[in-house]
Amino acid sequence: MRQPPGFVDPQQPDSVCKLHKSLYGLKQAPRQWFNKLTTFLQLQGFGFSRSDPSLLIFHKNHIQIYFLIYVDDFLVTGNDCFTINHILGQLQEQFALKKLGQISLFLGIQVIRSSTGYFLTQEHYASKILHDAGYADCKPAPTPLATNSKTAQTSTAPFHDPTLYRKLAGSLQYLSITRPDIAFATNTVCQHMQNPTDQDFKTLKRILHYVKGTITYGFPITTGPLELRAYTDADWASDASDRKSISGFCTFLGPNLISWTVKKQATVAKCSTEAEYRSLSSALSDVIWLRRLAEELQIPQPNPTIIHCDNTSAIAIAKNPVFHARTKHIEIDYHFIRQHINSNTVRLSHISSNDQIADILTKPFSFTRFNELRTKLNIRPSNA
């Protein structure tokens, strides 16, 4: 820290001003803003969620209010409009706020209201990506990845503009917030951001062509049963460069898709069963967190959450307490899964590969199969 010109004290040239408030742009500013805002909300009766530190919850006399913070943007919802307006009025006395009314756009995500619920899409953001990349008028592609994209990549020349590649890959990653149908393809191109090649950019362009043809797509949030269920899958040794497997899982709350993940596994699996078992462990971690969050949102899960897996061997290892040479190195994951099966937190259920929704998160498909799985994920146009 240095004194600005004109403020230096000749008697104490090494001294600096003591700040009575944080300055916008300093590293401490976001933390100080969050502390001030949450301290005020706690004085109003809010408490921090145990599952999400950016979520504050108010429960009193059957009144439920949820306050979700993202830097200086936040969402407020609840079952009592009078109390919400009262709290917002007090907030406006302390902070310079804009009350935007019913949600329509939040962090680039459009929220369209309908008679049956809400529809989440990022059509504006997708249009911006295509415009910035110069593909606003490109021809649409039927799928985000070609079916032969898993074959070993031959050595090609480095891409001439790595910065552009990283910018587009990062933008597609944010677009996948409402587009899980591009999550696997985006994960594939993001693995080559350090040294992208011409072939990598060709793969990225294919995703842009697919986005062009599905620019209005998103997923609905509708009323229905509020039971969690999950689907987990893995593609063993799918990466030809290092032979690591890809894990993919998705979770539904009733008819609504609420969580999904595509991730390359950290270590090489010795067999497909091990790859599926590690993916099952990751899915279980997500399910436990979602069950805890659902309980805080007054959506208790009295029944075990069903996790659908299409690998009978992985299910057998989870249920059968027998170790042998092939499972010694995954003992920690074994105990983790086994414990929650015994406590009735989750229940494993075998599902045929044809009905495995999480398949779309682990590998490329032909248009027919891809469209079938996309429909099961509830990904559709906003006007459908």
pLDDT (tens digit, 9 = 90+) per residue, 186-220?
999 999 888 899 999 999 999 999 999 999 999 99
The rounded mean pLDDT for the chain is 87
In a domain, 364, yes or no: no
**Residues 283, 236 share a domain:** yes
In a domain, 377, yes or no: no
**Strand, coil or helix: what is 249?**
strand
User: What is residue 165's predicted lDDT score, i.e. its pLDDT?
Assistant: 93
- Under 8 Å between Cβ of 121 and 177: no
pLDDT higher than 70, residue 41: yes
Structural domains in the chain (count): 3
**Residues 254, 335 share a domain:** yes
In a domain, 11, yes or no: no
Report the CATH number that the domain containing residue 276 is assigned in CATH.
3.30.420.10
- Nearest-5° angle of CA 255, CA 354, CA 206? 80
**Structural domain of residue 159, as residue ranges?**
120-213
**Strand, coil or helix: what is 177?**
coil
**Residues 85, 34 share a domain:** yes
**Residues 128, 194 share a domain:** yes
**Residues 191, 235 share a domain:** no
**Residues 337, 277 share a domain:** yes
- Poorest-pLDDT segment among 11-15, 121-125, 306-310: 11-15
**Residues 261, 205 share a domain:** no
**Residues 253, 207 share a domain:** no
User: What is residue 153's predicted lDDT score, i.e. its pLDDT?
Assistant: 58
pLDDT higher than 60, residue 152: no
In a domain, 199, yes or no: yes
In a domain, 70, yes or no: yes
**Residues 260, 142 share a domain:** no
Rounded to whole angstroms, the Cα distance separating 269 from 238 reads 11
Q: pLDDT tens digits, residue range 245-301?
A: 999 999 999 999 999 999 998 888 888 888 888 899 999 999 999 999 999 999 999
**Residues 243, 316 share a domain:** yes
Residue 137, amino acid:
D
**Residues 339, 310 share a domain:** yes
Rounded to whole angstroms, the Cα distance separating 73 from 384 reads 30
- In the chain, the percentage of residues whose pLDDT exceeds 90 is 49
What would the DSSP string read from start to end of 135-160?
-TTPPP-SSSS-TTTTSPPPP-PBPS
**Residues 229, 209 share a domain:** no
Strand partners, 246: 235, 264
User: What is residue 67's predicted lDDT score, i.e. its pLDDT?
Assistant: 92
Look at residues 217, 219, 221, 141 and name the one whose alpha carbon lies nearest to residue 185.
141
First to last CA, the chain: 57
Cα distances from 259 to residues 98, 180, 216, 315, 368, in angstroms, run 30, 9, 20, 22, 24
In a domain, 238, yes or no: yes
pLDDT higher than 90, residue 320: no
Mean pLDDT within 6-23? 78
